[in-house]
């Protein structure tokens, strides 16, 4: 087989009914006992399986469902930034979002406590 040639060792294929899959593995070393006809027949049938039937994609493995991530409520600065961002973008159309954030961060730092408290109240709502 191509796999055997690739790994440089003989391989055997068989159907694993417990997981409904075709298993391909390196042929185990001879232990001195005869191979049963049943195992030989299963390996022969596995060779004859159509690859398109054997390897149909399965859906995602069902596991414990994670709760959907609930976004954090915006803080006072985020609300301030959302409020002022369009004005800055209009005045400086070439500024990137990062540049606008830096500018608004400095502006927020120098903002009057009265204005900051308005946005803090909005954030608490």
Which residues lie below 8 Å from residue 1, measured CB to CB, with a gap of 6+? 11
The token pair that represents 9 in the structure block: 């060792």
Place of tokens 């109240």: 121
Q: What pLDDT, on the 0 to 100 scale, is given for residue 3?
A: 76
H helices, E strands: number in the chain:
6, 2
**Residue 47 reports pLDDT greater than 90:** no
**By three-state DSSP, how is residue 33 classified?**
coil
Fold of 76-124: DNA Binding (I), subunit A (1.10.30)
Instruction: Indicate yes or no: pTM above 0.75.
Output: no
Q: How do the domains of the chain map onto residue ranges?
A: 2-54, 76-124
**By three-state DSSP, how is residue 36 classified?**
coil
């Amino acid at each position: 087989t191509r796999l055997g040639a690739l790994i440089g060792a003989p391989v055997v294929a068989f159907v694993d009914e417990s997981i409904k899959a075709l298993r391909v593995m390196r042929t185990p070393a001879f232990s001195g006992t005869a191979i049963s006809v049943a195992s030989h027949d299963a390996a022969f049938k596995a060779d004859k399986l159509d690859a398109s039937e054997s390897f149909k994609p399965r859906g995602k493995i069902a596991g414990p469902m994670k709760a959907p991530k609930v976004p954090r409520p915006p803080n006072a600065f985020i609300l301030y930034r959302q409020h002022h961002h369009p004005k800055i973008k209009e005045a400086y159309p070439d500024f990137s979002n990062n540049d606008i954030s830096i500018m608004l961060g400095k502006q927020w730092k120098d903002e009057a406590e009265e204005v900051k408290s308005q946005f803090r109240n909005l954030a608490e709502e």
